[in-house]
Structure 1
Amino acid sequence: MLAYTALPPLLLLLSPLLQTTHAQFCPDYLGVANTTHEPFSTGKYALSSQRPIAACRTFNSSQVEALLARYTTTISDPDLLRLFTNSYPNTLDTAIKWRGVSATNPAEELTFIITGDIDAMWLRDSSNQVQSYLPLLTASNASYSLASLYRGVINLQARYLLTSPYCNSFQPPVESGLPPAENGAASNDVVTPVYSNTSVFECKYELDSLAAFLEVSANYHNATGDTTFFSRFSWSEAVEAILTVAEEMQTPTYGADGAVLKSPYTFTRETTRSTETFANDGLGNPVASGTGLIRSGFRPSDDSTIYQLFVPANMMFSSYLSQCVPIARGIGKADLAERMESLAASVRKGIEEHGVVDTLQHGRVYAFEVDGYGGQTIMDDANIPSLLSAPFLGYVDQADEVYQATRKMVLGSGNPYFMRGPVINAIGGPHQGPGMAWPMAKIVQILTTDDEAEIVGALKEILSSTDRLGLIHESINSFNASDWTRQWFSWANGLFGQMILNLYDRKPEILRMSFQD
């Protein structure tokens, strides 16, 4: 029942109606993704078929189906082909939980995308989940199109940001009729500013979540040239909310007279994990003034920062804020555009002045976190934004000397969270702990190198470590391929497919290789 199935034309016509009946007869994908299904790939890894039948997919795209059909003759290795056909459409197949329009404006499209195995919408994840389909995105006014999905994500994220701009993950919109998801871990959180559980799933302030809205906006605009869309609803107001938070979070810990300043954001949680709460009763560790950098309470892993000036998120924020300046100008918001341009430039200046540090072994590199006092964290984490992903974010050229030194450091023993072993060698992080490597980081490694040997070696490790399930795990024990976390992690699956499309453009000969040795 769950084998790959070509999409009949009739189902394409009916697909908008399938959403209402999906839950009535389709199996829960959480269980599906954790078991194997025939037909298996014909390669040595015998990877499972993991796509739902067309009637059980949460969004059917003729463009994606046509691309998958083309790649059956582009990718020679049967295991690599199966992993691609399982993973690339995974967000559309499984994670478009609801699509509709605003109760107050039927022209305002809304798209609620879950991460996979968690029924909540993260600003970061949802932006990256649709980014997988960016190569196929074209301008379209059709209500059932990839462009419509993008617009729905931007509109819903704008609503979230206008309601709770310090929060990172959200409940379904009231229009969906879906019940709010329960988050037991957040039930006793003490957070300022306050938020409502009816609209917010969790309120961990992450600078990259704000940057994610800018990312999905820039991606849509660059691909479609549709500037008018951004003037129709609440985009500019959401950007203003983002800028207000960013400027507030440049507040240092102490004033000029030494008095402790009131922090715009505080967070405490009853927990046994230090990465789930803030030091100093919710204030976090002290931050110096005058760096130009923006504080981030949490990393994209949802782990708390040690030093709040988290460099990768500042890189992402500066990059995508700059890319959104033409949108603001295009809709007649000249003052907003100037404010955006100025902040993006000052953050970049802060990164280069305070985020680049000297190390004994690797020379000048980007620090992971700094505090402005000289405190620094030298490491990298698998989640995007990361130091490894800086060129992917558009912040720095891949050939940049400081980036290359940083890349060498984080992909080796200079990074305390670089996991090594016979199964997979990749960056991990505190979220799943020592020994657990993240395939997401291995994918980013491929996206940030032109070295064919490095790319081929990385692909072999990813292919051999899915435990025959044929999807991208969150993390894998570097010594035991059967010890893994989160099989249904939609973003990582889409990123793998996105990387394959990238290789088709850069290194098509690799896709014609056999990985059966």
Structure 2
Amino acid sequence: MKGPYLVLLSLVPRLGAHGSVLGDPTGPCPDYSSYAYEKHEPLSKGRFQLAYQRPAPRCRKFPLAEVDETIATMKRTIRDPDLFRLFENCFPNTLDTAITWKGLAAKASETDEDEELTYITTGDINAMWLRDSANQLSSYRTLLRPNASTSSLASLFRGTINLQSRYLLSAPHCNAFHPPPESSLLTPFALALSPAATDIFSPLPPPSAGVYECKFELDSLAAFLQLSHEYHSTTHDTSFFSSSRTWLRAVTTLLDTASALTGGTYLPDGRVAPPGYIFQRSTTSASETLSNSGMGAPVKGGTGMVRSAFRPSDDACVFPLFVPGNMMLARYLGACAGIVEAMAGEVRAGVERYGRVQHRGFGKVYAYEVDGFGGVNVMDDANIPSLLAAPMFRYMDRNDPIYQNTRRFILSRDNPYYMVGPVLNGTGGPHVGPGMAWPMSLIVRILTTDDDTEIVDSLRQLLSSTAGLGLMHEAVNTHRATSWTRQWFSWANGLFGQMILDLKQRKPHLLERSYQ
């Protein structure tokens, strides 16, 4: 679980965008973990009276003029005061609060060029997840422009790609990491709190890897490729990748790691194959550890798909062939370079052969997880990558007939993790449990539909789900908006902003109406 280490790790000082401690000589800035629990004025003028949750300008970790300009433009575009307040709070949240350190890598020699590094925390958890950090920056890709300045958005992307490259090289099976040594943020006390110190997993990363948690999640690898692709396709900056000390080696490590996990549990002669990855944890929650002495459920080899031990929710997979993660990997392997197109084709072929199943009520749909033997888990989870989100990362078109069948299933009570109630109707998952819908799932629903009625209904639900705090929570009780998890979930906040900007392009008339 992500939460138990928050309080003690919050004792580690937080640094600003350029390596300086936040705050001014008159006193420190408030800890946003506490700040996000409180309602700050001025409240919005709508019926929900949503709080203003941006830190004071002097306390914003990475001020960016383009973000403030976008907010000013959207104030003229969004007519509903509550909807604008949500955008105003959520869109800048990662830059305002989660860019915990930015600086330069230590040089191995005098001839080394300066290498930018960016350390991004998830929000209320003082660690950097590969998946979260990639998606947190992805919310700003429409503002990304070529720029060599270290105070630019492009620099944030480059620094994050560089740091993720370092993490992948040192511990490619791990999902979350401590700050780099250059930041001076990491204390021996904080390092000793890492779950990796007590978990049993293999292969072990070296002590210098700075691992916070080592759950192998296939989408962590895909997220690194996603971030690299988004930077390159937007800026066309090929020199960054050619000059990087680590990027190409990280891609090679990624491919080796994924390839090693395409085999099955059993060898041709019936013996058990070396597992490639194991994970065990002493826990009272079944979703926090793997069965079969840490190997997970048996899986058939030769499917073309890559095994995943955990889902993007950090919950253990029931069946190891996690379909949305394979979809995402296939998409970004194919997008990044010709060197990996062959593997992308194999993974996609595996998804299409083994990941499709016949549902008695919805026809042909995509399963959430399979094992290649015929074992199938038909559901969806709110965390991205999900089946619902497949068109978002362009694995398929949103009008694909099998996707539409799958979508109808996901948004029905036949999906065991579709939650309903007067507050929210959306997908949840075992990470928080039944009765708790994730606002993220409604944001994805909006991003993957052209139906105005569906979008309007989802926006209204999101407006009513924040308990007046004006931020996107991780999960909300479908019958009681005041019962929620995670007051500061930066990825979900950014995704909300990304969705509003998407509506500005696709459905501007929906931003001109009242949601009161």
TM-score w.r.t. the length of structure 1 is: 0.93
Are residues 1:174 and 2:181 paired?
A: yes
Matches within 5 A, 1:28-39: 28-39=31-42
Q: Which residue of 2 aligns with 1:247?
A: 259
Query: Partner amino acid for 2:131?
Result: R
Other structure's SS at 1:319 match: helix
| 1:418-440 residue CA offsets vs partner (Å, 9 max, x unmatched) | 00001100000000000000000
Q: Which residue of 2 aligns with 1:377?
A: 377
CA distance in 1, matches of 2:162, 2:195: 28
Q: How far did 1:21 drift?
A: 3.8
Are residues 1:258 and 2:270 paired?
A: yes
| 1:164-188 residue CA offsets vs partner (Å, 9 max, x unmatched) | 0000000100000002545465442
Q: How far did 1:287 drift?
A: 0.2
Q: Which residue of 1 aligns with 2:200?
A: 190
Matches within 5 A, 1:25-64: 25-64=28-67
Structure 2 CA distance for partners of 1:363 and 1:452, relative to 1, 3 Å = same
Q: Which residue of 1 aligns with 2:294?
A: 282
Q: How far did 1:470 drift?
A: 0.2
Q: Which residue of 1 aligns with 2:461?
A: 461
CA distance in 2, matches of 1:186, 1:388: 32
CA distance in 2, matches of 1:163, 1:16: 25
Structure 2 CA distance for partners of 1:151 and 1:17, relative to 1, 3 Å = closer
Q: Which residue of 1 aligns with 2:23?
A: 22
Query: Partner amino acid for 1:149?
Result: L
Q: Which residue of 2 aligns with 1:503?
A: 503
Q: Which residue of 1 aligns with 2:355?
A: 355
Q: Which residue of 2 aligns with 1:397?
A: 397
| 1:64-114 residue CA offsets vs partner (Å, 9 max, x unmatched) | 011111111100000000000000000000000000011114521000000
Q: Which residue of 1 aligns with 2:123?
A: 116
Are residues 1:201 and 2:202 paired?
A: no
CA distance in 2, matches of 1:278, 1:84: 39
Are residues 1:304 and 2:316 paired?
A: yes
Aligned residues of 2:378 and 2:415 also touching (Cα < 8 A) = yes
Q: Which residue of 1 aligns with 2:12?
A: none
Other structure's SS at 2:358 match: strand
CA distance in 2, matches of 1:20, 1:27: 12
Aligned residues of 1:95 and 1:116 also touching (Cα < 8 A) = yes
| 1:312-349 residue CA offsets vs partner (Å, 9 max, x unmatched) | 00000000111101xxxxxxxxxxx33x0100000000
Query: Partner amino acid for 1:40?
Result: L
Other structure's SS at 1:73 match: helix
| 1:231-267 residue CA offsets vs partner (Å, 9 max, x unmatched) | 1111111000000000001121000000000111000
Matches within 5 A, 1:26-105: 26-104=29-107, 105=112
CA distance in 1, matches of 2:412, 2:20: 46
Moved more, 179-188 or 76-85: 179-188
CA distance in 1, matches of 2:499, 2:83: 12
Other structure's SS at 1:98 match: strand
CA distance in 1, matches of 2:205, 2:272: 25
Other structure's SS at 2:21 match: helix
Structure 2 CA distance for partners of 1:322 and 1:46, relative to 1, 3 Å = same
CA distance in 1, matches of 2:345, 2:18: 47
Structure 2 CA distance for partners of 1:110 and 1:17, relative to 1, 3 Å = closer
| Total equivalences in the alignment | 490
Matches within 5 A, 1:387-466: 387-466=387-466
Aligned residues of 1:18 and 1:55 also touching (Cα < 8 A) = no
Query: Partner amino acid for 2:124?
Result: D
Query: Partner amino acid for 2:295?
Result: L
Structure 2 CA distance for partners of 1:426 and 1:48, relative to 1, 3 Å = same
1:156 to 153, 163, 181: 163
Aligned residues of 1:45 and 1:468 also touching (Cα < 8 A) = yes
CA distance in 1, matches of 2:330, 2:62: 33
Are residues 1:272 and 2:284 paired?
A: yes
CA distance in 1, matches of 2:426, 2:507: 22
Kindly report the root-mean-square deviation, in angstroms, between the aligned alpha carbons of the 2 structures: 1.3
Return 5+ residue gaps in structure 1 as ranges: 1-14, 326-336
CA distance in 2, matches of 1:40, 1:252: 56
CA distance in 1, matches of 2:20, 2:405: 49
Are residues 1:143 and 2:150 paired?
A: yes
Q: Which residue of 1 aligns with 2:478?
A: 478
Query: Partner amino acid for 2:486?
Result: R
Aligned residues of 2:138 and 2:227 also touching (Cα < 8 A) = yes
Q: How far did 1:444 drift?
A: 0.1
Return 5+ residue gaps in structure 2 as ranges: 1-15
Aligned residues of 2:124 and 2:488 also touching (Cα < 8 A) = yes
Query: Partner amino acid for 1:86?
Result: N
CA distance in 1, matches of 2:513, 2:31: 35
Aligned residues of 1:19 and 1:58 also touching (Cα < 8 A) = no
Q: Which residue of 1 aligns with 2:305?
A: 293
CA distance in 2, matches of 1:264, 1:238: 18
Q: How far did 1:195 drift?
A: 2.4
Q: How far did 1:143 drift?
A: 1.0
Query: Partner amino acid for 2:142?
Result: P
Structure 2 CA distance for partners of 1:32 and 1:106, relative to 1, 3 Å = farther
CA distance in 2, matches of 1:196, 1:433: 35
| 1:358-384 residue CA offsets vs partner (Å, 9 max, x unmatched) | 111111000000000100000000000
CA distance in 1, matches of 2:295, 2:29: 46
| 1:178-222 residue CA offsets vs partner (Å, 9 max, x unmatched) | 025454654420000112566100000000000000000000011
Query: Partner amino acid for 2:500?
Result: I
Other structure's SS at 1:290 match: coil
Aligned residues of 1:186 and 1:269 also touching (Cα < 8 A) = no
TM-score w.r.t. the length of structure 2 is: 0.93
Q: Which residue of 2 aligns with 1:231?
A: 242
Structure 2 CA distance for partners of 1:361 and 1:197, relative to 1, 3 Å = farther
CA distance in 2, matches of 1:391, 1:468: 32
CA distance in 2, matches of 1:93, 1:154: 20
CA distance in 1, matches of 2:341, 2:468: 48
CA distance in 2, matches of 1:19, 1:466: 32
Query: Partner amino acid for 2:277?
Result: Y
| 1:281-335 residue CA offsets vs partner (Å, 9 max, x unmatched) | 101000011111000000000001010000000000000111101xxxxxxxxxx
